[in-house]
């Protein structure tokens, strides 16, 4: 995984040497050429409500170990508003070690960036710092927000004139702590990433962008051994996963880039993915799972089939040898947690995505065509009352199901069934993703009779019991439209678990409803009930297992959708007949 991340960073041209990293900055302190303070400038797209700021691709960066060795050190050119301007401090102290260090590095770098010594002098003025802090407060800047320097209309951090100076600064710093800068005291070890001999870094840089899934805003390490229980064989810290500082910096650049540009938050986790060769966004199967196209466009199912055919007939031969890689990440206890790792051939991924959507396909609740392809989060949300209750391990497991074509775990079927039962009893609109997930469970268990639409030839009695319950409920609704507690509210729970005790009695009492509505509509319902009992014969189960209860729910739903479609069709035919009769009468 680390090796592939390193390859990705280098192929994308985002690999930076140690001591450099991209950083997102929200504010710039503006100065003129003489170092006179001019004001605070917001960075990034200010039209966005939650403007993240502007990302500078190459900023000076110190490791946590280097900062600790400096005993009050700070980053150069880009730091927090609290460090640079003492913003947020109740009693601003000009002797603050981090603030002093920031000022000192500005002075020292003035030999390569003319004018920074003037800025440093201004930032030592207590009155000016008060003005800056006031300006930041008016703009609602947080003390932890990153700020940089803008001098005479130029951002020094965007130039490269300071790069050599900064590398020399770090070399001097490392020379002072030579025995502490390497996990092996300078000795070479076999790198976990390359298999070659490298001097292992003592600590690894932090991964950012996971604060919304349990991570820390300032970043968390992917690899770290800061507890005695973690190291082994007497190796200190990151010597337990030996990698050079350059390799660690490169995989960090890859992960940060992927999280920022190709990361999709899925409830309590974040998924990042990439390919061995370039794939156009419209051909990205992972994007289809996350956010399927609208039904009015070329939907994910048809797109997957089109890509598969193009690969097979050679139209897109370049995709045949392509490979995908995907990580599911979250933060926990100040660390980056790798919840899942997947890799495989692109064509296999497309095929699995094709099956994912075809297996989830379910009739629309109104019976008119299929429901839209569900988003991945909609499928996960179908298993819980609230999407926020879905755990990161559950997301990783279902993500693997979607990408590899595995069976739906029974626990997800049971959870979706419980929520579907609540919806039915409470009269809530049926959740398409929930019913699709129940269907996909049976399809992947080998049920070749489980179609998206009603299948009157399905061999399972539990399925027909659900159908019967739906027809009986619809009949009561037609006869008694204003009833408070109907058949569903009173009997669905019992019928779905012990149908033999309930359905016979409900069928007998349905005669009252048939007599009430009378006419041709009564004959329609009578025929439906008789047909379903013909499928059941004497095979009404005494009890149903969870799997059978899910078949009951699917039978109920698909019969309901079919009846709604038939009712709409009859209404349309009646309307057409009325229009025809009116025309005939007018002509007469």
Helix (H, G, I), strand (E, B) or coil at 11: helix
CA distance 562 to 557: 9
Helix (H, G, I), strand (E, B) or coil at 127: helix
Pick from 73, 43, 40, 46: which is nearest to 55 by CA? 43
Pick from 327, 340, 325, 333: which is nearest to 394 by CA? 340
**CB-based contacts of 203: which residues, under 8 Å, 6+ apart?**
63, 64, 65, 221, 224, 237, 238
> How confident is the model at residue 216, as a pLDDT?
86
Q: β-pairing, 269-275 with 263-266?
A: antiparallel
Kindly list the distances between the CA atom of residue 492 and the CA atoms of 112, 383, 424, 456, 529, in Å, as whole numbers in the listed order. Answer: 79, 20, 8, 21, 17
CA distance 185 to 88: 40
Among 440, 469, 485, which residue terminates a domain?
A: 440
Tokens read off for 16: 């930076």
Same domain, 280 and 424: yes
Residue 489: domain span? 457-574
Among 162, 177, 192, which residue terminates a domain?
A: 177
Task: Answer for the pair 215, 330: CB distance below 8 angstroms, yes or no.
Answer: yes
Tokens read off for 92: 């601003």
Domain membership of residue 491 (yes or no) is yes
**CB-based contacts of 108: which residues, under 8 Å, 6+ apart?**
169
Kindly list the distances between the CA atom of residue 211 and the CA atoms of 22, 46, 265, 386, in Å, as whole numbers in the listed order. Answer: 17, 22, 11, 21
Domain membership of residue 229 (yes or no) is no
Among 177, 196, 216, which residue terminates a domain?
A: 177
Same domain, 55 and 135: yes
CA distance 118 to 473: 82
Tens-digit pLDDT string for the chain (588 aa): 999 999 999 888 888 888 898 889 999 999 999 999 999 999 999 888 888 899 998 999 988 778 888 888 899 999 999 999 999 888 888 889 999 999 999 999 999 999 999 999 999 999 999 999 999 999 999 999 999 999 999 999 999 999 999 999 988 887 765 545 555 566 888 888 888 888 888 888 889 889 888 888 778 889 888 777 888 888 888 888 888 888 988 999 999 999 988 888 887 888 999 999 888 888 888 888 887 755 434 466 677 778 888 887 777 777 888 899 999 999 887 889 999 999 999 999 999 999 999 999 999 999 989 999 898 989 999 999 888 888 888 888 999 999 999 999 999 999 999 999 999 999 999 999 999 999 999 999 999 999 999 999 999 999 999 999 999 999 998 888 877 778 899 999 999 999 999 999 999 999 999 998 888 889 999 999 999 999 998 889 999 999 999 999 999 999 999 999 988 888 888 888 888 777 877 776
Dihedral angle sign, alpha carbons of residues 289, 293, 294, 295: negative
Tokens read off for 474: 């619809």
Task: Answer for the pair 53, 44: CB distance below 8 angstroms, yes or no.
Answer: yes
CA distance 379 to 369: 20
CA distance 536 to 343: 47
Domain membership of residue 213 (yes or no) is no
Same domain, 273 and 163: no
The crossing angle, in degrees rounded to 10, of helices 519-536 and 461-479 is 160
Same domain, 50 and 117: yes
CA distance 324 to 286: 10
Same domain, 298 and 422: yes
Give the chain's domain count.
3
Domain membership of residue 389 (yes or no) is yes
Strands, E assignment, 45-145: 54-60, 78-80
Find the length of the chain.
588
How does DSSP classify residue 216? -
Residue 179: count of CB within 10 angstroms of its CB: 8
Helix (H, G, I), strand (E, B) or coil at 155: coil
Residue 31: count of CB within 10 angstroms of its CB: 21
Helix (H, G, I), strand (E, B) or coil at 38: strand
Task: Answer for the pair 49, 88: CB distance below 8 angstroms, yes or no.
Answer: no
DSSP of 388-432: GG--HHHHHHHHHHHHHTPPPPHHHHHHHHHHHHHHHHHTPPP-H
Same domain, 489 and 520: yes
pTM of this structure: 0.78
28 membership: H or E segment, kind and range? strand 27-31
Same domain, 522 and 551: yes
Residue 3: count of CB within 10 angstroms of its CB: 14
357 phi, psi to nearest 5 deg = -75, -35
Same domain, 465 and 419: no
Task: Answer for the pair 552, 466: CB distance below 8 angstroms, yes or no.
Answer: yes
Task: Answer for the pair 93, 72: CB distance below 8 angstroms, yes or no.
Answer: no
Same domain, 485 and 524: yes
Same domain, 327 and 425: yes
Domain membership of residue 354 (yes or no) is yes
Domain membership of residue 307 (yes or no) is yes
Domain membership of residue 582 (yes or no) is no
CA distance 324 to 237: 32
Domain membership of residue 1 (yes or no) is no
Same domain, 436 and 469: no
CA distance 366 to 567: 10
Same domain, 435 and 463: no
DSSP of 251-287: HHHHHHHHHHHHEEEETTEEEEEEESS---GGG-HHH
Residue 76: count of CB within 10 angstroms of its CB: 25
CA 100 and chain centroid, separation: 41
Pick from 130, 150, 129, 132: which is nearest to 141 by CA? 132
Cα dihedral: 527, 532, 536, 537 (round 10):
0
Residue 55, CB half-sphere, CA atoms under 13 Å: how many? 10
Tokens 């700070």 map to which residue?
74
**CB-based contacts of 275: which residues, under 8 Å, 6+ apart?**
322, 323, 324, 325, 346
Task: Answer for the pair 507, 529: CB distance below 8 angstroms, yes or no.
Answer: yes
Strands, E assignment, 122-245: 146-151, 189-190, 197-198, 206-207, 220-221
């Amino acid at each position: 995984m680390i090796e592939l991340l390193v390859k990705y960073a280098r192929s994308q041209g985002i690999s930076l040497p140690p001591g450099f990293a991209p950083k997102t900055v929200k504010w710039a302190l503006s100065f003129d050429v003489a170092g006179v303070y001019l004001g605070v400038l917001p960075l990034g797209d200010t039209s966005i409500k939650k403007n993240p700021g502007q990302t500078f691709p190459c900023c000076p960066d110190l490791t946590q170990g280097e900062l600790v060795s400096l005993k009050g050190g700070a980053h150069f050119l880009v730091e927090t508003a609290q460090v640079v301007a003492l913003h947020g401090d109740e009693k601003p102290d000009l002797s603050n070690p981090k603030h002093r260090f920031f000022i000192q590095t500005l002075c020292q770098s003035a030999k390569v960036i003319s004018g920074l010594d003037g800025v440093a002098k201004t930032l030592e003025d207590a009155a000016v710092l008060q003005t800056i802090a006031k300006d930041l407060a008016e703009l609602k800047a947080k003390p932890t927000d990153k700020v940089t320097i803008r001098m005479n209309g130029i951002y020094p951090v965007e130039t490269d004139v300071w790069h050599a100076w900064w590398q020399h600064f770090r070399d001097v710093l490392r020379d002072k702590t030579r025995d502490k800068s390497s996990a092996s005291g300078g000795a070479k070890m076999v790198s976990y990433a390359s298999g070659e001999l490298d001097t292992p870094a003592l600590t690894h840089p932090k991964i950012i962008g996971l604060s919304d899934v349990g991570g820390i805003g300032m970043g968390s390490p992917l690899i770290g051994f800061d507890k005695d229980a973690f190291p082994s064989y007497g190796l200190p810290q990151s010597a337990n996963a030996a990698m050079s500082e350059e390799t660690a910096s490169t995989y960090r650049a890859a992960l940060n880039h992927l999280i920022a540009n190709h990361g999709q938050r899925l409830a309590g986790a974040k998924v990042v993915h990439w390919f061995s060769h370039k794939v156009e966004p419209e051909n990205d199967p992972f994007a289809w799972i996350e956010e399927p196209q609208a039904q009015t466009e070329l939907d994910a199912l048809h797109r997957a089939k089109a890509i598969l055919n193009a690969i097979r007939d050679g139209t897109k031969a370049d995709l045949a040898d392509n490979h995908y890689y995907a990580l599911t990440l979250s933060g926990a206890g100040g660390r980056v947690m790798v919840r899942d790792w997947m890799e495989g051939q692109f064509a296999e991924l497309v095929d699995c995505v094709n099956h994912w959507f075809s297996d989830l396909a379910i009739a629309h609740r109104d019976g008119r065509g299929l429901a839209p392809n569900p988003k991945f989060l909609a499928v996960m949300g179908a298993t819980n009352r609230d999407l926020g209750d879905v755990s990161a391990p559950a997301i990783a497991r279902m993500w693997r199901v979607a990408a590899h074509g595995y069976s739906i775990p029974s626990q997800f079927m049971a959870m979706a069934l419980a929520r579907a039962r609540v919806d039915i009893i409470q009269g809530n609109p049926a959740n398409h993703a929930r019913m699709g997930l129940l269907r996909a469970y049976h399809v992947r268990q080998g049920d070749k009779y489980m179609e998206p639409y009603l299948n009157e030839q399905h061999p399972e009695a539990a399925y027909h019991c659900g159908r019967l319950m739906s027809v009986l409920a619809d009949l009561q609704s037609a006869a008694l439209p204003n009833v408070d507690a109907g058949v569903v509210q009173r009997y669905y729970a019992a019928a779905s678990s012990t149908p033999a005790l309930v359905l016979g009695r409900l069928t007998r009492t349905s005669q009252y409803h048939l007599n009430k509505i009378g006419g041709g509509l009564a004959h329609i319902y009578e025929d439906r009930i008789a047909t379903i009992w013909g499928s059941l014969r004497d095979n009404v189960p005494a009890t149903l297992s969870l799997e059978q209860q899910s078949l009951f729910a699917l039978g109920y739903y698909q019969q309901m959708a079919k009846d709604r479609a038939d009712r709409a069709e009859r209404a349309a035919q009646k309307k057409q007949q009325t229009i025809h009769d009116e025309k005939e009468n007018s002509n007469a």
